A = this chain, B = another copy of it.
Amino acid sequence: MPSVFDKTTAVTPDGDGRYAAELDAGWVVGGGLNGGYLLSLMGNAMRAALPGKPDPLVVSAYFLGASAPGAATVEVDVRRSGGSTATVAADLRQGDDTRITVLATFGDLDRNAGDVRTTAQPFELPPIEQCVPNTMAPPEVRRIAPLMDRFDMRFHPDHVGWAVGQPTGEAVMSAWFKLEDDREPDPISLLLVVDALPPVTFNLAKPGWAPTLELTAHVRAKPAPGWLRVRHQSHNVAGGMFEEDCEVWDSAGRLVAQSRQLALLPRPAPEA
C-alpha cells in the first residue's frame, strides 16, 4: 500500500517532459496548497526526467501564484546533463497559469555518502513526549490547515506561544517531524519538510499568511529512518520581508537538509 504522501505526490508521464498530477486537497493551508508539498511533487517529476540522477541536491523555487486542489501539469526542461549532476528548469501549471517555477540540480547522494565533516551543531529539542503535538492546535488553525493531518509534528514547548495567543517574540520555531503512515523520510520528502512548519512570524504576533517569494533547499544526505528534527529561524526581518533559515537533522544526527526562503511579512489586510 503506498502511503498518502506517495499517492498525493505521484506524477504520470504525459509526453516529452510533461507530467500530469492531481493536487490533493489534504495539503491545503490557508488560501492554497503547501509549497513544500508541491515541491515534493515537482521533485518526483524532475527525477523521472533524469534517469541515473535520482536525488535533488539543490532546488530553487519561485512562487508565482497560489495553487488549488485539482489537475496540474509539471513541465520539465533538462538544461544540462552529463557528469555526475544534471540541471533542470520545471514549471507547475494549472490551466494557463504557472504557479511555481523552479531550477534544480539533481545527482546521486550515494556518491561520497560517507564523507561527513559537518561542523554545525544540532539544535536542542526536548524528548518527543515532552513536546506539543500538532493535534493540540486550536480548532480554528486546524480548520484552515488540513495539512496538519498529513504528519505528526511535536513542537518545542518554548516555541508554541503563538498557538495559545502568547507569541514568544522570537523568530524561531522547532519540532519533531514524521509523515503519516510511518512513511520514512527520503530526499523527496525533505522538500516538504523544509516548508511544513508554521512561519516563524507566528511568534512575532503576525499570524497571517506569509507569502514565500523564493525558497532554496539543499538536500545533503539521505535521511536515516525515524523522526526528523526541524528548526526555522529568522535573523533579518526588514523592508517588509524576512528570511527564514531551516535545518533538518535526521535520527542519526546528520544535517540532511538546509533551506532558506525570502517571504513577505503578513499584512493586516489583504493586498490590493
Contacts and interface: CB of A to CB of B under 8 A. Distances in A.
Interface of A: 57-58, 60, 62, 64-65, 79-80, 83, 85, 87, 89, 98, 101-103, 105, 109, 111-113, 115-120, 171, 213-214, 216, 218, 220-221, 234-241, 243, 255, 258, 260, 262, 271
6 closest pairs, A vs B, by CB?
A120-B235, A112-B240, A60-B60, A117-B237, A64-B80, A58-B214
Contact of A119 (B64, B237, B255, B271): B237
Nearest to A97: B80
A216 B213 contact: no
A231 to B, nearest CB: 14
Per DSSP, chain A at the interface is strand
A238 B118 contact: yes
Task: Name, among A57, A102, A111, A117, the residue most crowded by chain B CB atoms within 10 Å (CB to CB).
Answer: A117
Contacts of A234: 119
B89 A101 contact: yes
> Copies per complex?
2
A173 to B, nearest CB: 15
Given A85-B213, A98-B79, A260-B216, A60 B237 contact: no
A220 to B, nearest CB: 6
Nearest to A121: B235
Nearest to A104: B62
Contacts of A89: 89, 101
Contacts of A117: 237-238
Contacts of A115: 238-240
Nearest to A242: B117
A216 B216 contact: yes
A213 B262 contact: no
A103 B237 CA distance: 23
B101 A62 contact: no
Contacts of A102: 103
Nearest to A260: B260
A249 to B, nearest CB: 11
A260 B60 CA distance: 12
B239 A271 contact: no
Contact of A235 (B109, B119, B171, B236): B119
26 contacts: A57-B241, A58-B213, A60-B103, A62-B79, A62-B103, A64-B80, A79-B101, A83-B271, A89-B89, A89-B101, A102-B103, A103-B103, A105-B262, A112-B239, A115-B238, A117-B237, A118-B237, A119-B171, A119-B236, A119-B237, A216-B216, A218-B260, A218-B262, A220-B241, A235-B255, A236-B255
